[in-house]
Structure 1
Amino acid sequence: MSGVPKEFRVSLPAWLDDELADVPAVMPDRAARMRLVHRLADRNWREGNGGPFAALVAEQDSGRIVSVGVNVVLSSGVSSAHAEIVALGLAQTAADSWDLGDHGLPAHELTVNWRPCVQCYGATMWSGVRGLVVAGQGPELEEITTFDEGPLGADWAEQFEARGIRVVQDVLRDEALTVFRAYREAVDAGEVAVYNARKGSE
């Protein structure tokens, strides 16, 4: 069959170069890494790339930043292009391995500004990371932003821990909620669209 697509592309927005220009290559402090994630998440929706979400992958022990990602669903036209997917994929590209826990690699840790959705939950579990740091969990994200995060079980963190992935929660939680509320104000004002499959853009 001819004419069917043979690839799709997901790229980070150009404005990230400015945001990262003064960011040190090594950030040992988890709160500092989360603060960067919040900053990127806030700018991301304002730039129109996608939702108010960002993520980064760092070496767990040293804090060396391996990759960053933002949600680029709107700019890429790919519904799976969530921040975690982008950050993990770029980290795996940098490591030249689909397994970030591969023998000889340092332990990697994913930092994201809320508990992963059902898609990113699986992607994180299978990525090889040894740590997951989240700003928070709970219904606030969906209540504020109206995004459908999917049916994730109440034992989501325990399932990670059972597979050797340490979960650290509530790192700068209030800052995450501030970003989500600013996004919601823009939604209510008709300035940005919430994309939810089955419902279309709101």
Structure 2
Amino acid sequence: MDTSALATSFGARLPDWVLSELAGVPEVLPTDEDRIRLANRLAERNHREDTGGPFAALVVDSATGRLVSAGVNLVLSSGLSSTHAEVVALSLAQTRLSTWNLGAPGAPELELVVNWRPCVMCYGAAMWSGVRRLLIAGDGPEVEALTGFDEGPMREDWAEQFGERGIRVDRGVLRDEAIEVFREYGAREDAVVYNAR
């Protein structure tokens, strides 16, 4: 087999606007509201900048509130279907901390902050990342109803499954603000819904 035509690497990069947006953000986000507010802000700007869908995620040190990484959905700008905001934020945290296990013994407890419940792909990514807490603005049918995205066949007991693995789930922080971001995206005439099926 001639392997010269095979791809041997792939990657994604945060758009420059994310770093500009984060430049004015304090390194410590002390409250759940501060964390979700930032995720909502990044999600809203992400779709306005046309770099991806209306989704953003953060990895934060639970005890101190220190921001470890930030990610936005990069499917459209990267051409990679796996570059959802959660995967981007987790991967950047793992890169920064030089570990695949964000819950390694002796490491600070980290949490994944997302502007809505993870889709079926990100459910697995979050579960296996090592984070000890999932903080989400909300869950429910609003994302699919307002945007047309297919979030996949999630288990009814998805939050309990996290709990059984030592990952606490907290939800309902600035939920209406998150829903407004999805409503704005769904109202766009040029909104791209990038479901493969």
Q: TM-score, structure 2 length as denominator?
A: 0.97
Q: Distance in 1 between the 2:6 and 2:44 partners?
A: 36
Could you tell me which residue of structure 2 aligns to residue 197 of structure 1? 196
Q: Which amino acid aligns with 2:138?
A: G
Residue 16 of structure 2 aligns to which amino acid in structure 1?
A
- Given the alignment of the two structures, is residue 26 of structure 1 paired with residue 25 of structure 2, yes or no? no
Alpha-carbon distance, 1:113 to partner: 0.5
Q: Which residue of structure 2 lines up, in the alignment, with residue 170 of structure 1?
A: 172
User: In 2, distance between residues paired with 1:68 and 1:3?
Assistant: 34
Shift of 1:194: 1.3
Cα distance in structure 2, aligned partners of 1:193 and 1:94: 31
Q: Show CA shifts across 1:29-78 (max 9, x none).
A: 11011000000000001111111000000001110000000000000000
Structure 1 residue 94: Cα displacement: 1.2
Post-superposition offset of 1:17: 1.7
Alpha-carbon distance in 1 for matches of 2:102, 2:89: 12
Q: Which residue of 1 aligns with 2:153?
A: 151
Q: Name 1:114's counterpart in structure 2.
A: 116
Instruction: Give the whole-Å Cα distance in 1 for the aligned partners of 2:19 and 2:121.
Output: 27
1:99-138 to 2 correspondences below 5 Å: 99-138=101-140
TM-score (norm 1): 0.95
The separation in 1 between residues aligned to 2:195 and 2:21, in whole angstroms, is 28
Which amino acid counterpart does residue 27 of structure 1 have in structure 2?
L
5+ residue gaps in structure 1?
A: none
Q: Work out the CA distance in 1 between the residues paired with 2:127 and 2:192.
A: 30
Q: Distance in 1 between matches of 2:28 and 2:46?
A: 23
TM superposition shift of 1:18: 1.5
2:163 aligns with 161
Cα distance in 2 for residues equivalent to 1:137 and 1:2? 45
5+ long unaligned stretches in structure 2? none
Which amino acid is the alignment partner of residue 78 of structure 1? L
Kindly provide the amino acid, as one letter, of the partner of residue 12 in structure 1. Answer: L
Aligned with 2:86: secondary structure?
Answer: helix
SS in 1 for 2:70: strand
Deviation at 1:104, TM superposition (A): 2.0
| Secondary structure of 2:129 counterpart | coil
The DSSP-based 3-state class of the residue aligned with 2:94 is helix
- Whole-Å separation in 2 of the counterparts to 1:97 and 1:18: 26
SS of residue matched to 1:196: coil
> Residue 46 of structure 1 is aligned with which of 45, 48, 61?
48
CA distance in 2, matches of 1:62, 1:36: 16
Q: How many residues align?
A: 195
| Separation of aligned partners in 1, 2:33 and 2:166 | 22
> How far apart are residue 103 of structure 1 and its match?
1.4
Partner SS, residue 169 of structure 2:
strand
